[in-house]
Structure 1
Amino acid sequence: MTAKTRSHWKEYGTALCATLITATAGTCYGWPSPTLSYLQSASSLIPTTSDERSWIASIMILCSALTPIPSAYFADRFGRKTALLLGAIPFILGWVLVIVAKSVAVLYVARMFSGLGYGIVYTVAPMYTGEIATSEVRGALSTLITLMNKVGILSQFCIGPFVTMRTLAAINLILPITFVITFIFLPESPYYYLKFERSERAERALKNLRSGDIRLELKNIEINVQEDMKNRGSWGDLLSEATYRKALWISLGVFTIQQLCGSAAVIAYAQGIFEATESHIEPYQASIYLGCVQVATCCLSVILVDRVGRKPLLLLSALGVGLMNGVIGTYFYFYLTNKASVTHLHWLPITALLIYIVCYAVGLSTVPYVIIGEMFPTNVKLYASCVAHIYTGISMFAVQKLFQVVDDAFGIYTVFWGFSVFSILGLFFMLAVLPETKGKSFACIQAQLRRDVARDNASKLMTVEY
């Protein structure tokens, strides 16, 4: 085994331990699917209304929008490692509250704590994995964050239907505690140490992450950090600099497509959706199939993102989820208006949802986080990441909350048709404006964005003159 291969294995091992906390976030994300079905059953010890269940599902994501800015500041001041360890605390408190909950109000508070942890994790984890990775595996390690999240979701689909709500919470509590015990021994980001001129600590951290001679890489990191410190960015730069503005517009556009294709609602209400189809397969079994397919496809995405490229995966993903949303919506329309006409198609909704998950997981689920990490230079990346995560949290909350509202008011088919329209519109958006960043350095990506901005300005000038 070469030194380069050993280094890559070390990077993957470190990232795997670090992303245990994103698996914890995944358990919080997938927990409503089996739990909401229990809460609406006759055996529930905490009776809930339809509106209360939608709040239980969505309030976590709303609260996740509160922590990106303070957690980014904390990570920049006290270190990425310390911030991630801090992020485990709200998860632990959240699961403890679920274990002792005897009212809907306590469940709300538990989900709020989980949301705070969710926001910390998805702000800091991409920073940490991006800074410990070499360029050869940067894309794969970035998608590993999402893969571990899907593993956490799958665990809820597999365990939730067979245990009580409190037992499930107790099992989930093991994960953040394990993360703290293992991650506390891992190195801090060498970028963070060099930012505060702690060269010896940076060297020790890099030695723990690499095999072989690290002197050249350490020097290159030091030069990059010094350059970034000379060109310190600000929140205002995201809007005042044309290149950053374009990158932000493109990134938020991709995240909009990610959310408006309906993924957050499909995961949170998966078991309820399968119950509505009256398929021959048990709803919990269908949810497990969905989770397994999601994890397997995310593994495929980790392999493909640095080989096929970012843009082709996103385009394929948007097309697939758009078509499947349309199929699911059409099935539910006929199911609710002329049930006899689709009785023989009982297999269609679960098949379409599984294909939907494959298409979503291979691109829209993972690649947007790679895009946000590559479209901005280091001096403004932190600010862009905060904006993206706040925006995503609010969008995800809206999708999860409004799913139940629109379903109750206009029918579930209306929801899926809406998801289909947004997905197809997103396909054309990415086809028109999204650049390919595979295999390009940060400098090359910025140069391409500057050329695109110059071309856009020239086109506007010609239009005005005409």
Structure 2
Amino acid sequence: MKHSSSARNQYLATFCVNLLSINYGFACGWTSPSFALLQSVDTPLSSGPITTEEGSWIGASICVGGLFGTLISGWMSERYGRKLTACLASIPQILSWIMVIVADNAYYLMAMRFLGGFSGGVCFMVIPTFIAEISEDRIRGMLASTLVLSCNFGILLVYILGNYLPYATIPWIMLLFPIAFIASFSFIPDTPFYLMRKNDFARSENALRFFRGYCTDTQQVSNEFKLELVKLQDTFSDEKQSIPQDEITWADLSSRHARKAFLIGICLMAFNQFCGCFAMLNYTASVFAESGSSLTANMSAIVIGTIQMFGSYFSTVLVERAGRKVRPLGGLRCFGNVPSAVVGSKGYVNLLVNCCLHGAGFEGFKAHLNVEKRFLHENLEKKNYDSCQRIQISQYSDCSVKAFQFERDCLVIGTLTVRY
């Protein structure tokens, strides 16, 4: 059996599940082209233009939702399975865009962002797990990187749509993605590993057959498939026998090894958020609008979104070649923050260079998250990894909330310096 045919259903399942991450990218980037209209006299809200304070809460609500989504997603994926958890994550996405359609005041938009963030928190837990459990070793790394690329694609696409389409049209288009996800993902089985853990051996084997390109009734299978099935059964048997020893205790999390890993992970996440990346995502168009450029703000945002796409891809390639510790782009990210403090000497050109450095420097800002996931996976014991992953993403959301208001104020000061 050729490799291309054996991986076909793995590519299909990865594409379907990443419709969720694309839609999360929509939710992240939606504020950039929308804020200018919402704060103007032509606002579609019947309550009138939103204030700066309301805009800040609309922007930060996605992080609050992400915090809650992360906390329950691990439990949901273990209790109900990876497939059902992913399907449930699409419901808040549908509700969030309905909120935009019916919104008549800022509180609807805050709820929309909260729901989008909640879904995103679930996605960033369940999608990597789903992809890791269905994919072959030879393509697992490539398929895992699609989470970051899909999310950044969603951000770029909503920047483009925001520039060319009316405000009221965009949420209707966004609604198509979670609906398409439910329609397509319904035909994808749950992961073989999860089904094996639930003692559903027949469905587990059928799921493995599906993801390896075999029909259910096919008798002729490759030796690789037989070995993988045996390995899956052995993994389940070993896990079942080692449950008493593998229960997580406070001693596991307070050991010197775990404390060091936690400290490194928390520092990485804090640096990631306080670099200003999330505020730039939400206020890209607003920042360029304040700069007084002849180039439209939304077109400038599209440029940044394109750089972000290339940055996320380049980061994925770089981390495999240069390792987890040596990351030249990390220095570029820090360098990208320096012009934020001194911007003004070159006006719009300096601001554009600064934002380009920001876009390349934080590597599409979610690629950084993948590096930290791999770091924790490679430096923590297996039984601690799931808990540490939830703590990591929870801390990511928490840092985003704390950093968001501060970063927005810094951006306002920077753009006023540019303008005057």
TM-score of the two chains, using structure 2 as the length reference: 0.88
Runs of 4+ in 1 over 6 A off after TM superposition: none
State percent identity of aligned pairs. Answer: 24
CA contact (8 A) 1:30 1:153 kept: yes
1:153 to 155, 159, 162: 155
Q: What displacement does 1:404 show?
A: 2.8
Q: How does 1:175-190 map to 2 (within 5 A)?
A: 175-190=177-192
CA distance in 2, matches of 1:400, 1:31: 16
Q: What displacement does 1:367 show?
A: 2.3
Q: What displacement does 1:12 show?
A: 3.1
Partner of 2:405: 401
Q: How does 1:301-312 map to 2 (within 5 A)?
A: 301-312=315-326
Name structure 1 gaps, 5 residues minimum: 336-340, 416-466
Q: How does 1:47-446 map to 2 (within 5 A)?
A: 47-211=49-213, 212=222, 213-229=224-240, 230=242, 231-234=245-248, 236=250, 238-312=252-326, 315-331=327-343, 335=344, 341-343=345-347, 346-361=348-363, 364=368, 366-406=370-410, 411-412=413-414
Q: Which moved more, 1:384-393 or 1:298-307?
A: 298-307
Q: Which amino acid aligns with 2:272?
A: Q
TM-score of the two chains, using structure 1 as the length reference: 0.80
Name structure 2 gaps, 5 residues minimum: 214-221
Partner of 1:462: none
CA distance in 1, matches of 2:250, 2:14: 32
| SS of residue matched to 1:164 | coil
Q: What displacement does 1:148 show?
A: 0.5
Q: Which amino acid aligns with 1:221?
A: L
Q: What displacement does 1:183 show?
A: 1.1
Q: Flag the 1:414–1:161 CA change in 2: closer, same or farther, 3 A.
A: closer
| SS of residue matched to 1:29 | helix
Partner of 1:27: 26
Task: Give aligned pairs, total.
Answer: 400
CA distance in 2, matches of 1:237, 1:169: 48
CA distance in 2, matches of 1:3, 1:26: 34
- 1:41-72 deviation line (CA, Å, top 9, x unaligned): 22113311101001011111112101223221
CA contact (8 A) 1:189 1:205 kept: yes
Q: What displacement does 1:235 show?
A: 6.2
CA distance in 1, matches of 2:100, 2:209: 42
Q: What displacement does 1:407 show?
A: 5.1
Partner of 1:418: none
CA distance in 1, matches of 2:209, 2:128: 21
CA distance in 2, matches of 1:298, 1:39: 30
CA distance in 1, matches of 2:112, 2:164: 22
Q: Which amino acid aligns with 1:385?
A: Q
- 1:362-401 deviation line (CA, Å, top 9, x unaligned): 7526423333444444423221111111111111122223
Q: Flag the 1:303–1:405 CA change in 2: closer, same or farther, 3 A.
A: closer
- 1:14-56 deviation line (CA, Å, top 9, x unaligned): 2222111111111111111111121112211331110100101
